[in-house]
């Protein structure tokens, strides 16, 4: 079968879109590193490099009306969800054209129209929000599933246990997605969790839970589809432990002295983008010109986003109290 003909198959279309999203996220974040180093972006910034397969796979599986609750490592989630790159970067620049009017920055991307409810700087803070959104949708009779993404560090928070218990008790339509990158900031999971199989911990609350290769975008998408089928069928919440790895430090301020460099290099051998490219090439679904075209398309999108962000206006000083205090009549 020729590469041209293979590219028309549903499987090839799925892989092509997953690859496109992962490349968009990776190249965007690499550009953000440059902008941060030049002080164009300030404040805290947590990169998603290495974890792109999770965002691409999860967002491909869900519907446009399904609510999504994210974490402070939210750039990849936002882009894969469909937030315009220009709005995401403008937010990181602190411009009023940003997705949160420049008030939230890197950790607080938000878009109610696309049902993307943060970006949350509090570890585990999105869990109760997700449970509330799921309850609201069910009370309104909406056949939706709320997707809640969080890191392995959130498993140590009280909200994690309270929210999983409540969601299971009330059989709420929530897909809990734990991005287990093995380090809660600088603490290795085996130094913080007596039970490192996080799917086992979630299953103790009476919900389906299983681990997924978070470096494989297709595996993530298939796992999410399987979980969502049960959730939409009324079986209650589901938990996915997405075993992934961040190639960069916890944040731009992190010297990253707590990890063995050899460990990082071993995980880089499983780079989700490189792996997808190799797989698609082997199956005749991707050619060198096709990859070059994709990279060029992404480069143009990023360049346009930078230009738009730099041109966006800063908020006037006289407007700084807006949305902070209520006006009494």
**Average pLDDT by stretches of 10, the chain with 329 residues:** 53 96 98 96 95 98 97 97 98 96 95 95 96 96 96 96 98 98 95 95 97 98 98 96 97 93 97 98 97 98 98 92 75
Query: Which residues lie below 8 Å from residue 217, measured CB to CB, with a gap of 6+?
Result: 15, 18, 19, 22, 52, 53, 56, 57, 60, 272, 276
d(C-alpha 285, C-alpha 16), whole Å: 8
Phi first, then psi, for residue 175 (nearest 5°) are -105, 105
Per-residue model confidence (pLDDT) at position 320: 83
3-319 carries CATH number 3.40.50.300: no
d(C-alpha 118, C-alpha 112), whole Å: 9
Per-residue model confidence (pLDDT) at position 329: 56
Structure tokens at 247: 């190639």
Per-residue model confidence (pLDDT) at position 321: 85
Question: How do the domains of the chain map onto residue ranges?
Answer: 3-319
Per-residue model confidence (pLDDT) at position 3: 40
Cα angle 127-257-73, degrees, rounded to a multiple of 5: 25
Q: How many CB atoms sit inside 10 A of residue 36's CB?
A: 17
DSSP state of 326: P
């Amino acid at each position: 079968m020729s590469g041209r003909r293979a590219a028309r198959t549903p499987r090839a279309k799925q892989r092509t879109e997953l690859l496109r999203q992962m490349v968009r996220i990776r190249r965007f974040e690499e550009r953000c590193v440059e902008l941060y180093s030049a002080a164009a972006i300030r404040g805290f910034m947590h990169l998603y490099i290495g974890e792109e397969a999770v965002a691409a796979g999860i967002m491909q599986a869900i519907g446009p009306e399904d609510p999504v609750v994210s974490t402070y490592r939210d750039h990849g989630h936002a882009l894969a969800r469909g937030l315009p790159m220009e709005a995401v970067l403008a937010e990181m620049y602190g411009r009023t054209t940003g997705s949160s009017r420049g008030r939230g920055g890197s950790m607080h991307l938000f878009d109610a129209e696309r049902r993307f409810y943060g970006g949350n700087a509090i570890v585990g803070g999105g869990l109760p929000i997700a449970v509330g959104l799921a309850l609201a949708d069910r009370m309104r009779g909406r056949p939706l599933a709320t997707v809640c993404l969080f890191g392995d560090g959130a498993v140590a928070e009280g909200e994690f246990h309270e929210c999983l218990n409540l969601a299971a008790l009330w059989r709420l339509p929530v897909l809990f997605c734990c991005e287990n990158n093995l380090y809660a900031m600088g603490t290795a999971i085996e130094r913080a969790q007596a039970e490192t199989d996080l799917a086992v911990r979630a299953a103790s609350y009476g919900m389906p839970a299983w681990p997924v290769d978070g470096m494989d975008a297709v595996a993530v998408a298939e796992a999410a589809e399987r979980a969502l089928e049960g959730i939409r069928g009324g079986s209650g919440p589901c938990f996915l432990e997405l075993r992934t790895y961040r190639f960069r430090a916890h944040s731009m301020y992190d010297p990253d002295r707590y990890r063995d460099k050899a460990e990082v290099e071993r995980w880089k051998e499983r780079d989700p983008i490189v792996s997808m490219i190799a797989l698609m090439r082997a199956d005749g679904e991707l050619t060198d010109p096709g990859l070059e075209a994709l990279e060029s398309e992404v480069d143009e999108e990023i360049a346009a986003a930078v230009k738009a962000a730099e041109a966006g206006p800063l908020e006037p000083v006289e407007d700084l109290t807006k949305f902070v205090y209520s006006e009494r009549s």
